[in-house]
Amino acid sequence: MSTEIEKHSREVGDRTFKARATNLGIDLFLGLFGLLMILPLVLLVANAFKTPQEMLSWPPTVIPAQPTLANIEAVLADTPLLRWIFNSFSFALLSAIAILITSTIAGYILAKFPSRAMSVLFAIILATAIVPFEVYMIPLYFQAQSMGLLNSVWGLLLGYLVMSFGIFLIRQNVIHSIPDELLEAARIDGAGEIWIFIRIVVPLLRGALGALFVLAFFQAWTAFAWPLIVATTKDSYTIEVGLALFQTGFTVDLGRLSAASAIVLVPSVALFVFLRRNFVQGVASTGLKE
C-alpha cells in the first residue's frame, strides 16, 4: 500500500515539475518576445535625446551619453507640431465617438432583431472589411471636395465614421453578454426600445465599448493616406502627415523625427494604459461562436 502511495506521489511530483517547467519556459519566451517588441520604442525615445554623432554610432546606446534637448527644441520651434497633434487628437476623438455610436446601434440591432435580411446585411458588412480603403478613397475625396470639407476635421471624419469590425465586436458582445430574458423583462415592465438601449444595453457593453474606443482612436490617430489627400495646407496636417516632412528622397532628419515621434507616443501610451482593462475585457468577451 505504501509503495503505491509513494509511486502516486512521485507521479504527481513529476507532473507538477513538468507543468512548472513548461510555464517557466512560456514565461521566458513571452518575456523575451515582449522585450524585443518594446526595444525599438526605447531606442526611439533614447534617440530623441542624443546628439547626431551618437545616433549614428554602433552599437547603439540605450542611455544617451550626453543627453540633449536640442532635437525637441528644434521640432517645437521649426514645425507646428502641437497644431498637428491637436488636429490628430480632434480627428481621432471624434472618429472614435462616431464609431462607438454607429457600431453600438448597428451591433445591437443585428444581434437582437434577427431576420434573413439582417443576416444578409451582416454578411455584407463583414465583406466590406476586405475592401481596401484605397479602392474608394478617390470617390470619397471628390465627395468631400463637393461638400467643401477639405482642410477640415469634418473632411477627415468622412472616411472614418463606421468600422465594420466595430459592428462585429459589439454584435458578438451583445449576443454573449446580454440575455434575451433581461430585455423581455424590461419590455414587460413597459420600457421602450430606446430606454432599453440607453439604460440597459449600453452600460452592459462598457468593456466592449472601451476596447472599441481604443481601436477606433488608434485607427484614426495612425491614418496617413486619407489625411494626406484631404489636408493640403501645413496647418491642417495630422501628426502622421507632419512626421513625413522630416523625410525627403535622399535624407532623413533622424534627430527631429525621433523627437517628434517620442512626443507623439505620450498620448497613445496614456490612452492605452488608462483603458487597458476595458480593452482586454472587451476583446476577450467577443467570442466567435453563435
- Whether 77 and 41 map to the same domain: the answer is no
DSSP 147: T
- Which pLDDT score, from 0 to 100, does residue 138 have? 86
Inform me whether the pLDDT recorded for 249 exceeds 70.
Answer: no
Inform me whether the pLDDT recorded for 243 exceeds 90.
Answer: no
pLDDT in tens, 206-228: 888 888 888 888 888 888 888 88
- Which pLDDT score, from 0 to 100, does residue 288 have? 43
Among 60-74, 75-89, 129-143, name the one with the lowest average pLDDT: 60-74
CB-CB contact of 172 with 286 (8 Å): yes
Helices 81-112 and 254-284: angle between axes, nearest 10 degrees: 20
- Whether 28 and 162 map to the same domain: the answer is no
Confidence of residue 40 (pLDDT cuts 50, 70, 90): confident
Region 70-78: mean pLDDT is 78
- Whether 137 and 33 map to the same domain: the answer is no
Q: Looking at this protein, which amino acid is placed at residue 224?
A: F
In a domain, 56, yes or no: no
In a domain, 61, yes or no: no
User: Which of 18-27, 100-109, 116-125 shows the highest mean pLDDT?
Assistant: 100-109
> b/e per residue, 141-173, with b = 16+ CB within 10 A?
beebeeeebbebbebbbbbbebbbbbbbbbbbb
- Which pLDDT score, from 0 to 100, does residue 265 have? 79
Region of residue 131 (left: phi > 0; alpha: psi -120 to 50; beta: else)? beta
CB-CB contact of 204 with 210 (8 Å): no
What is the number of domains present in the chain? 2
- Whether 74 and 42 map to the same domain: the answer is no
Q: How far is the C-alpha of 100 from the C-alpha of 106, rounded, in Å? A: 10
CA dihedral 274, 279, 282, 288 (to 10 degrees): 180
Q: What is the CA radius of gyration of the chain?
A: 25
Q: Say which CATH number the domain at 174 has.
A: 1.10.3720.10
- Whether 156 and 277 map to the same domain: the answer is yes
Residue 278, domain extent: 70-284
Cell triple for residue 161? Answer: 465614421
pTM exceeding the 0.85 threshold for the entire prediction: no
In a domain, 289, yes or no: no
